[in-house]
Structure 1
Amino acid sequence: MYAKCGLPDIGRVLFDSISSKNSISWTAMISGYAQSGRKLDAIQLFQKMPVKNLLSWTALISGLVQSGNWVDSFYLFMEMRSKGIDIADPFILSSIIGASANLAVLGLGKQIHCLVILLGYESSLFVSNALVDMYAKCSDVLAAIKIFGRMVQRDIVSWTSIIVGTAQHGLAEEALSLYNRMLSTGLKPNEVTFVGLIYACSHVGLVSKGRYFFKSMIKDYGINPSLQHYTCLLDLLSRSGHLEEAENLIKAMPFKPDEATWAALLSACNHHRNTLIGIRVADHLLSLKPEDPSTYILLSNIYASAAMWESVSKVRRLMAAMEVKKEPGYSCIVLGKESQVFLAGETSHPAKDEIFGLLKELDAEMKRSSVLHDLEQQEKERHLFWHSERLAVAYGLLKGIPGMVLHIVKNLRVCGDCHTVLKFISIIVKREIVVRDANRYHHFKDGKCSCNNFW
């Protein structure tokens, strides 16, 4: 109780006062530390535990997964396996599958899936739910759909996981069809289901449908919209150019909009070149004294586009005073057992000459198009060549198995130029490229992207 209320130290005082501790006492304290993000305390206490069983290992590993310590949870899981602990309950498997999903490492997820089959737990409802979520988050949405299709028993988590998964991959029609199938089974949607539905509408521009789901959630199911629902609807309106309606929604919603909410609207104003609303939103956002470095970059761009140079100078002075630095972009690609991380502008990689050579060859194929603009042509080409996602794609083409799908994870949003270039590359090399960026998943194939440019 104390740990779940954010007071694990008081929980530890009580734990220490127990004169005769049993496995439940130890497990409760270990779990409390792990779920509170106190990794070292959890591991140290676990090491002191006299007799460790599957329950105590599960408490530690699942707690670390919940608190975001995914890599550590894998090392502990491997240690548990090496000690021959019998997995008599599949809950620990669903936890470690969740770690694979959050790390977006498909290879690890597949290995755990093999173990699930080996141990005979594929029919477990919560293990299958975890597998659907994992494959969707690891960019293999077809595998997620296949597992969902094989499930004998499904609950609201099963349906919501596949609806959200297909929505994230741009399969909006599939997501909406799954929702109708779910309703036909008699199941009622929950809060998360509607997040996925509105999200699906957002990424293909189905404005009327998104408004319908938002109203249906309240009217038909009595669900009070959370900040996340309002944010999804705001995202839908903003992306589709309904900026005035989006601004009115922010002012009317029963939650105090945070910096990220205003920044999302400002980004849409910038994208749709609506200077009038953009300046109004920028002035309000600046008064909130934002903390995110990317917000200041966005503010500077908005003011610069309106030739408000005094405001640009003010933003840059604030950035200098706060020592604001833009988060460096990086992309990770996994090829079999090997993973490579590329930083934007990285020129120290051992294969840099090969990578640059391939990018130059690909660029020559694209010269007829006007994908590079704004900056002075040569400078722009030099600058864009070193964007991290391009480096990762080139490395994958050079070192990966011919014909394999390239899976890349990027920490920031894919820029417009790289988005266009990756579509061209998918045609030239006849290869599917999947990029999971900060916003969504992009499946580049045959010169098209699954996002339909709604990202």
Structure 2
Amino acid sequence: MPHTGLLHQLQQCAKRHLPTQGKKLHAQVIKSGLDHDGLLYPNTLIDMYGKCGYQNDALQLFDKMPERDLASWASIFTAHNQASLFQNTLSLFSTKFLIDGFQPDHFIFASLVKACANLSALKLGQQVHAQFLVSPFLHDDVVKSSLVYLYAKCGLPDTAQKVFYSILSKNVISWTSLIYGYARAERKSEAIELLRRMPGKNLYSWTALISGFVQSGLLVDAIRLFIEMRRVGVYIEDPFILSSMIGASASLAMLDLGKQVHRVVIGFGYRSSLFISNALIDMYAKCSDVLAAEKIFRHMSKRDVVSWTSIIVGMAQHGQAGEALSLYDEMTSVGLKPNEVTFVGLIYACSHVGLVNKGRQLFKSMVDDYGLNPSLQHYTCLLDLYSRSGYLEEAESLLNSMPFKPDEAAWAALLSSSRRVGKSEMGVRIANHLLELGPEDPSSCILLSNTYAGAGMWENVSKVRKFMLAMEGRKEPGYSCVNLSKENQVFYSGETTHPMKDEIFELLKELDAEMRRRGYVPDTSSVLHDMGQQEKERQLFWHSERLAIAYGLLKSVPGTTIRIVKNLRVCGDCHVVLKFICSIMNREIVVRDANRFHHFKGGVCSCRDFW
């Protein structure tokens, strides 16, 4: 075989990602002695292995080279970047490249900037930028495009725009990066205007805008743009944009939208895509349809740790602890190593069924068997497990000994447990810690006020009220969104302007009367305003979740599940009310609040009245 033909075939293996064929060609290179004849073949082999995902082989070849040139370095940096080993690129640059006395060329600069961008290493990226500006390559448009992406990803779209305008030949990558930067920074109008002005806009331009909006929380705008993109006939040749839309559906808990995107996934033939299937599992779980999530999981031909973790966490969040733990056993039996998120879901699952020993064992296993370092979230889950199961002394000991400063949620969880089992002395002690912390969550203030009131500590009750008054102006208004088949309606607490307010009011009155006949007594302890009992009850009556439930009952098909998403924690009184309503109306009600999922059915809740 002529040497030029061998070189061409190696380049084709790199282009088409054919590592097995590439290894055979490598053997021919060695047999022909070409691996010692200059740097052309070694550099091409490093490039081939890197692009085929064989970074270890690429690095092994690189380390064995008696001499290297800039092309060798560019190939190994590219190999690490393509494997998302961006830290390795920067480490090699600082520990070997500079020590060997090399100066970066435009290829090296582009690789370094890409690594900085993907690590969001802004300061280091700025240093590379400064070095680029005093180099002979300061006019290179490829490096400038990489710099646009760096500043866009690091939240500096205006800086990205300055670099963008210095590019003589603006390509799709630079346009797309700038659009993404403004979208991610919530600069909505500027991002959309850039897309409108962009010549030759394509799927990737739309994807940059839509995914940027999803990441910045502009979910409704992302959905509108996706609909517009579909209307103008942009062909979806890459599934990434679909995963963004699935994520938006999950965040908004819009089950019907998620199902529509799922149909688009099937229509474009991406059903077998691993990351799309993982996104669908997460979406269905967050939209409270865990049966659909499990069905997708079971039909996957290939699963990774994200697939298993998504279904385990989904089951745990919905109170299906037995299923979550069985899935974990199944996962480990096929040889997959769980990650940190897997253990969050597992310990959380144990807390719902009081499996204290199992939870302890899992916490120990993540450290001893898998070498994972527990985070604050793992400690909080273990604390929740101890608290729910009545192991309050162990919970308090854990809170005081863990290697993280306990946050407000941790103290509040333990305070709630101590009140629930009537340990007033412990409750006051924990309340004092929480008061010193300076609570910012209204539900924490309610817990504090009730604890101090029960102990007759009225001076502290007064302090808590001052906290509540201070946060009144800045606290997020409570709202609930009811998800029906063809619409989503948002209700705010106290809202009385809805077109169906009279029908909603009448239904709530009827339900209130029936609940009282069944023994319901309003719990006004969550209303800290100084007002009479009747006015406090009226405030509870107009809580957003009750309005959303009433609307859902009036508008939905009889017998169907009503799904609610609430931005704050469900208050204790509304939790009791929802248990009554699901029993009276013989309907299942699913509420996703700021803490967890609540499945109300037959007069009980899946959270077992602890949240």
TM-score, normalised to structure 1, is 0.92
CA distance in 1, matches of 2:494, 2:547: 9
Q: Quick one: distance in 2 between partners of 1:316 and 1:428?
A: 36
Q: Please, which moves more after superposition, 60-69 or 214-223? A: 60-69
- 2:568 matched residue in structure 1: 412
**1:112 to partner: Cα distance:** 0.8
* Count of equivalent residues: 455
Deviations 1:24-56 (A, max 9, x none): 122223233333444444333333322211122
| Pair 315,397 (structure 1): closer, same or farther in 2 beyond 3 Å | closer
Instruction: Find the counterpart in structure 1 of residue 577 from structure 2.
Output: 421
Q: CA deviation at 1:383?
A: 4.8
Residue 400, structure 1, aligned to residue 556, structure 2: yes
Partner of 2:95: none
Rounded Cα–Cα distance in structure 1 between residues aligned with 2:460 and 2:399? 24
The amino acid of 2:547's aligned partner reads L
Looking at structure 2, the residues matched to 369 and 19 of structure 1 have their Cα atoms a distance apart, in angstroms, of 76
1:440 aligns with 2:589: no
Deviations 1:279-302 (A, max 9, x none): 222222322334444433333232
1:89 aligned to which of 238, 260, 285: 238
CA distance, structure 2, for counterparts of residue 324 and residue 208 of structure 1: 44
How far is the alpha carbon of 1:308 from its aligned partner? 0.5
CA contact (8 A) 1:294 1:326 kept: no
Match of 1:306 in 2: 455
In structure 1, the residue matched to 2:493 is: 344
Could you say which structure has the larger radius of gyration? 2
Indicate the SS of the match to 1:342. strand
Whole-Å Cα distance in 2 between the matches of residues 435 and 249 of structure 1? 31
Partner of 2:178: 29
Deviation at 1:181, TM superposition (A): 0.9
In the alignment, is residue 258 of structure 1 matched against residue 414 of structure 2?
no
Q: Which residue of 2 aligns with 1:64?
A: 213
Aligned pair in 2 of structure 1 residues 196, 292: CA closer, same or farther (>3 Å)? same
1:234 aligns with 2:362: no
C-alpha change, 1:109 and 1:323, in structure 2 (3 Å) is closer
CA contact (8 A) 1:35 1:63 kept: yes
Aligned to 1:212: 361
Q: Distance in 2 between matches of 1:372 and 1:380?
A: 13
Structure 1, gaps ≥5 residues long? none
Distance 1:367 1:311, change over 3 A: closer
1:245 aligns to what SS in structure 2? helix
- Tell me the equivalent position of 2:127: none
Kept in 2: contact 1:170–1:203 (CA 8 A): yes
2:484 maps to what in 1?
335
Residue matched to 2:196: 47
Q: Which amino acid aligns with 1:428?
A: I
Give the 3-state SS of the residue equivalent to 2:490 in structure 1: strand
Per the TM alignment, residue 6 of structure 1 is displaced from its structure 2 partner at its CA by 4.2
Partner of 1:116 in structure 2? 265
Alignment check: 8 A CA contact 2:428 2:451 kept? yes
Residue 384 (structure 1) shift: 4.0
Cα 1:390/1:222, change in 2 over 3 Å: same
Written as runs of structure 1 = structure 2, the 5 A alignment for 1:129-144 is 129-144=278-293
Deviates more, 1:5-14 or 1:180-189: 5-14
CA contact (8 A) 1:205 1:454 kept: no
User: Higher mean Cα deviation, 278-287 or 168-177?
Assistant: 278-287
Please say if 1:389 is aligned against 2:538: no
Q: Which moved more, 1:320-329 or 1:273-282?
A: 320-329
Tell me if the contact between 2:523 and 2:572 (Cα under 8 Å) persists in the aligned partners.
Answer: no
Counterpart of 1:331 in 2: which secondary structure?
Answer: strand
1:32 and 1:328 mapped to 2: Cα distance? 29
**Counterpart secondary structure, 1:203:** helix
Q: Does 1:128 align with 2:277?
A: yes
- Determine the structure 2 residue equivalent to 1:182: 331
Going from structure 1 to structure 2, the CA distance change for 1:244 and 1:334 (only over 3 Å counts) comes to: same
Which stretch shifts more, 142-151 or 293-302?
293-302
Moved more, 21-30 or 180-189: 21-30
Q: 1:322 to 1:84 in 2, by over 3 A?
A: closer
Q: 1:198 to 1:81 in 2, by over 3 A?
A: same
| Residue 47 (structure 2) aligns with | none
* Offset of residue 321 of structure 1: 5.2
- What are the Cα deviations for residues 194-226 of structure 1, in whole angstroms up to 9, with x where unaligned? 111111122333222222111111011000011
Query: Counterpart of 1:247 in structure 2: which amino acid?
Result: E
Give the C-alpha shift of residue 422 in structure 1: 2.4
Structure 2: how far apart are the matches of 1:66 and 1:8?
A: 15
Measure how far apart 1:148 and its partner are: 1.2
The whole-number CA distance in structure 1 between the counterparts of 2:436 and 2:170 is 55
CA distance in 1, matches of 2:238, 2:348: 35
Q: Is the partner of 2:353 in helix, strand or coil?
A: coil
Residue range with higher mean Cα deviation, 383-392 or 132-141: 383-392
Q: If each structure's helix is expressed as a fraction of its own residues, which one has the higher value?
A: 2
User: CA distance change for structure 1 residues 286 and 188 in 2, over 3 Å: closer, same or farther?
Assistant: same
Deviations 1:126-168 (A, max 9, x none): 1111111111111111111111111111111111111111111
Q: How far off its partner does 1:8 sit?
A: 4.0
| 8 Å contact from structure 1 (residues 204, 454) kept in 2 | no
Structure 2 counterpart of 1:387, which letter? H
3-state secondary structure, aligned to 2:217: coil
State the secondary structure of the residue aligned to 2:379. Answer: helix
Residue number in structure 1 paired with 2:319? 170
Question: Which of the numbers 78, 87, 107 marks the counterpart of 2:256?
Answer: 107
Question: CA contact under 8 A between 1:31 and 1:59: conserved in structure 2?
Answer: yes
What RMSD in Å do the two structures reach over aligned CA positions? 2.5
How far apart in 2 are the matches of 1:290 and 1:392? 29
TM-score with structure 2 setting the length: 0.69
Structure 2: runs of 5 or more not aligned: 1-116, 118-149, 525-531
